[in-house]
Structure 1
Amino acid sequence: MDASTQDATHRHGRYSDLITRAAQAGPLTTAVAHPCDVSSLQGTVDAAKAGMITPVLVGPSARIISAAEAAGVDLAGFEIVDTPHSVASAAMAVELVRRGRAALMMKGSLHSDELLAAVTAHDTGLRTARRVSHVFIMDVPSYAEPLFITDAAVNIFPDLDAKRDIVQNAIDLHIGLGLGRPRVAVLSAVETVTTRIPSTIEAAALCKMAERGQITGADIDGPLALDNAISPQAALIKGIVSPVAGRAQILVVPDLEAGNMLAKNLTFMSGADAAGIVLGARVPIILTSRADTLKTRLASCAVAVLYAQALLREPRLGG
């Protein structure tokens, strides 16, 4: 098998397994907020055809129908809840979850901050005791297993308390997807603790929190520079000995800027795929991008479906 064939097999294998498992788990009713363009509507319809979700399309009905005509898809049998604009679409999608009408939410063509504002609203949102955070589930051709990156989309400059929730959310997702006890690397620029780089101090504090049971379910090490987190050779050269160094499965970044650049670097320079999900709310939220491929959109749905099923089986996850 030549390198290109191996790469194609690798790139389809990891997400294909998730998609197959989600389809076998049965469809979950999903409130899709403002699917008013071709890409978001097509992704929704494809996920429904794959047997993962039963969509409720929430948005201006005329615009949804127009997008369907442009995409060449048939909306027969799909429920549409008419709303006047994107802010109302987000609010209604949240309300459907609050009423028990939907077990998942999906972002359509509205801005992420519009959707998250409705999700995190104090009186009408979907808040839990946890901080809401985002996880990229990356399929990196050169890495041996799925690589989680958090948080690269929601929390801009999280403090230590927020990072505790960010880490726990990612751990619970890893376990909920049936991937086992994860190895978590808390990233910084260096692997030594120094007051000159505050993220190293927070990384050390997170490791101590794990020792004291404030974070559970994972092996955690940090601070680790990126090379020491994912390269066994780099960790060996630096003399770092831990269950995590060189073989991390979850990368916890110092802030959104670092995480966003890391995820996009892997996507556009390493050929990685990046499924995305928001955690910490009452239900998982599928957060896709207009640049996502069909396979990535389906993988994001699959992750959300599998994790929602896990939350029903094990309520301790996610809170």
Structure 2
Amino acid sequence: MDPILPHTITLQQSGAAISPEARGHHYQRLIERSRGLPPLRTAVVHPVDTVSLGGVAEAAAEQLIVPVLIGPLAKIKFAAEQANLDISSFEIVPVEHSHAAAIEAAALASERKVEALMKGSLHTDEFMGPIVSSEKLRTARRMSHVFVIDTPLYPRPLFVTDAALNIYPTLSDKSDIVQNAIDLAHALGNEKPRVAILSAVETVTEKIKSTIDAAALCKMADRGQITGAIVDGPLAFDNAVSDEAAKTKGIVSPVAGRADIFVVPDIEAGNMLAKQLEYLAGADVAGIVLGARVPVILTSRADKPLARLGSCAIALQWARYSAQVS
């Protein structure tokens, strides 16, 4: 069955039918933009189900990654048999269980034996634990996750951060979160992204903390503490994406209606926003963790194949860009 069909039916019922051709065009461009770049030697942590292993095989076939599979050998081979995949050319590092796989992968990245890390079939906390605790993988920048969302109804990739890692970020955390997303936008070809600091309202009020944080982040950008982008907020989501909505409310802003990066107040708001776009707007959702020494591909079992490829293409472009600017 065509995996797009369930979403197409839902969108048609809501009066906003999306053709299959319109979906994934931003990711297709990202994948094409990755052609010719040396693939990333990537440690794939505990790929013991058909979905995660299939995504790895597709990314390897597109020459985005060179997989190093880390996990229980028997389970990996069984998943390959179930998916009818030939993994004989993939390097496998056998370990007993998922926790050991996460530790081994972080160690390989610390020793520069792999260039990226990719989540397989294990919980995010278990996967991220050894990465966050490794002094050799941490940087001065706080780690954060950026979703790069491909929605047919928006004219460019839509960055949402942080919807997967930092639960209730402080102002200092948000400064790093914003800069990480800006740097990723640069790596993907957007030299001057427009950043919307989201809240429920467009005015600064002590009753809503995220509006205070938004005002502070904008001033930080004015003073050069955040660089490489046009930053404005607080903005409600409708004003960030719709010029008409901004004009109706009398908002004069260089970001309103044209935002590239959407900085959410906390993980709950970000998670809901990303999933609403995916399930109600026909979007594909990819993304990576930044702020570590290597890109971290944080996939989900619910991710569609094109989104998995998109995540690998993003990681590849980020790694090659970082090597050039460092």
Q: Which residue of 1 aligns with 2:26?
A: 14
Q: Which residue of 1 aligns with 2:90?
A: 78
Q: Which residue of 2 aligns with 1:234?
A: 245
Tell me whether 1:287 sits opposite 2:322 in the alignment: no
Q: Which residue of 2 aligns with 1:60?
A: 72
Contact 2:151 2:284 in 1 (8 A): yes
Please state how far the C-alpha of 1:122 moved relative to its aligned partner. 4.5
Tell me whether 1:169 sits opposite 2:151 in the alignment: no
| Superimposed CA distance per residue, residues 223-275 of structure 1 (whole angstroms, 9 cap, x where no aligned partner) | 00111111000111111112101110000000000000000001001111101
Q: Which residue of 2 aligns with 1:88?
A: 100
Q: Which residue of 2 aligns with 1:247?
A: 258
| Superimposed CA distance per residue, residues 258-305 of structure 1 (whole angstroms, 9 cap, x where no aligned partner) | 000000001001111101211111111111111111111000100000
Mean Cα deviation higher: 99-108 or 5-14:
5-14
Letter of the 2:61 partner, please give it.
K
Runs of at least 4 residues of structure 1 off by over 4 A?
3-6
Letter of the 1:81 partner, please give it.
V
* CA distance in structure 1 between the aligned counterparts of 2:31 and 2:205, rounded to whole angstroms: 43
Q: Which of the residues 182, 194, 201 maps onto 1:190?
A: 201
Tell me whether 1:211 sits opposite 2:222 in the alignment: yes
Q: Which residue of 1 aligns with 2:43?
A: 31
* CA distance in structure 1 between the aligned counterparts of 2:41 and 2:258, rounded to whole angstroms: 36
Letter of the 1:100 partner, please give it.
R
Question: RMSD of the TM alignment (CA)?
Answer: 1.4
* CA distance in structure 2 between the aligned counterparts of 1:224 and 1:16, rounded to whole angstroms: 30
Counterparts of 1:150-169 in structure 2, within 5 Å, are 150-169=161-180
Normalized against structure 1, the TM-score is what? 0.95
Please state how far the C-alpha of 1:5 moved relative to its aligned partner. 9.9
* CA distance in structure 2 between the aligned counterparts of 1:21 and 1:191, rounded to whole angstroms: 36
Letter of the 1:90 partner, please give it.
A
Letter of the 1:114 partner, please give it.
E
Please state how far the C-alpha of 1:179 moved relative to its aligned partner. 2.1
- Long gaps (5+) in structure 1: none
Normalized against structure 2, the TM-score is what? 0.93
- Long gaps (5+) in structure 2: 1-14
Q: Which residue of 2 aligns with 1:223?
A: 234
What SS class does the counterpart of residue 25 from structure 1 fall into? coil
* CA distance in structure 1 between the aligned counterparts of 2:208 and 2:218, rounded to whole angstroms: 16
Percent of paired sites with the same residue:
57
* CA distance in structure 2 between the aligned counterparts of 1:5 and 1:206, rounded to whole angstroms: 38
